[in-house]
């Protein structure tokens, strides 16, 4: 019998969340298209699995790795594919062209590679402007040089303008995005024909809260996988469905008395007689080691909490008020019935990290 832990991936929920994002975008622009962001192995859900689930509905797929883009093409994906960090060396350009990929261009060095590329290369690009995220993107003072390089490069095909919001998930209302929109508008003002170029601005938070940012293409990421991008609003209230449910079982039960401790370092000390359930899940499975005692967990559909420190292969939970639960009782670490966002908050992180950290040793089943 295999170890009783698995991650169940509900592909229908993934489709639901993608289509929800596209409907939100359509409130502002009925023609808006949506990239399905499948970077980081589809946020831990499986690249090819996610692509197969969305293959007949997604307008395009966005990711980071050139090899993963090639895998999508070779798996039969025919929609546009966007490389969110673009290409890293000149040799990548021929691969991008051969597999009909679109590349983000975020620095002058990438533009220079395109200018020097041999004919007949012609690559569609997303020109990324830095409006305040200060991560990737071209600055306002670089734009005259950018326009010169674009004009001098026959290797540049269709151009789309993009930026990335730093605070769309904040609680300050429209001012969270207004300052970047103002910078974006200022950066492209005076740019001949810029008003006719397609635009891509909205991430998950902006799609859900600021549909006016939905221009030609939106880029839903965490919302696809059922995570809320907001600290002040849960996924269910946004009509997002959980895609990944991490499930396990109780391996053993310990009855401990007052003053006895649980786990490494004895960080949990029983103040009353306590019934302890030992769960087949630990940080080697992707559960956050830094999750403190008191992190929520479901046992046989009932809510309880973890006890003590997370081990490599096990963690403990409180069964004192769950007398009907024991060895082999089912456990949900996050997912259906227990939002990943809530577990992540208790652990001082975000659901993105929980999903992406799922270990390869955890079996994945589709449901």
- Residues labelled catalytic: 39, 264
Closest CA to 22 of 31, 30, 34, 11: 34
d(CA 244, CA 6): 10
Closest CA to 208 of 160, 165, 161: 165
For 82-104, b/e burial (b = at least 16 CB within 10 A) is bbbbbbeeeebbeebbeeebbbb
- Give the CA angle between residues 254, 255, 256 to the nearest 5°: 110
The pairing of strands 296-299 and 302-307 is antiparallel
d(CA 117, CA 119): 7
CB atoms within 10 A of CB 132: 17
3-state secondary structure of 158: strand
State how far Cα 250 lies from the chain centre: 30
Phi, psi of 148 (to 5 degrees): -65, -45
């Amino acid at each position: 019998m295999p170890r009783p832990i698995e991650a169940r991936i509900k592909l229908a929920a993934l489709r639901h969340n993608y289509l929800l994002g596209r409907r939100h975008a359509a409130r502002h622009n009925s023609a808006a298209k949506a990239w399905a962001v499948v970077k980081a192995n589809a946020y831990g859900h499986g690249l090819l699995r996610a692509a197969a689930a969305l293959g007949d509905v997604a307008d395009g797929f966005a990711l980071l790795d050139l090899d993963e883009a090639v895998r999508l093409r070779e798996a039969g994906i025919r929609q546009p594919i966007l490389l969110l960090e673009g290409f890293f060396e000149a040799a990548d350009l021929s691969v991008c062209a051969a597999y009909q990929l679109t590349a983000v261009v975020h620095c002058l060095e990438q533009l220079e590679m395109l200018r020097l590329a041999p004919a007949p290369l012609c690559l569609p690009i997303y020109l990324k402007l830095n409006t305040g995220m200060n991560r990737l993107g071209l600055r306002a003072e670089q734009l005259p040089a950018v326009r010169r390089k674009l004009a001098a490069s026959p290797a540049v095909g269709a151009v789309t303008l993009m930026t990335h919001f730093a605070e769309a998930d904040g609680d300050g209302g429209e001012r969270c995005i207004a300052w970047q929109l103002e910078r974006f508008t200022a950066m492209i003002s005076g740019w001949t024909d810029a008003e006719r170029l397609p635009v891509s601005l909205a991430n998950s938070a902006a799609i859900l809260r600021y549909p006016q940012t939905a221009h030609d293409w939106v880029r839903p990421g965490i919302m696809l996988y059922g995570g809320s991008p907001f600290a002040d609003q849960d996924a269910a209230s946004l009509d997002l469905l959980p895609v990944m449910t991490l499930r396990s079982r109780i391996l053993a039960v310990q009855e401990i008395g007052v003053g006895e401790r649980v786990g490494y370092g004895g960080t949990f000390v029983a103040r009353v007689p306590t019934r302890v359930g030992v769960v087949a899940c630990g940080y080697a499975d992707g559960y956050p080691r830094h999750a403190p005692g008191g992190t929520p967990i479901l046992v046989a559909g009932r809510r309880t909490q973890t006890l003590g420190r997370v081990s490599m292969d096990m963690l403990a939970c409180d069964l004192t008020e769950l007398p009907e639960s024991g060895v082999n009782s089912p456990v949900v670490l996050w997912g259906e019935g227990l939002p990943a966002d809530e577990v992540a908050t208790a652990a001082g992180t975000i659901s993105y990290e929980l999903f992406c950290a799922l270990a390869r040793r955890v079996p994945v089943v589709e449901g």
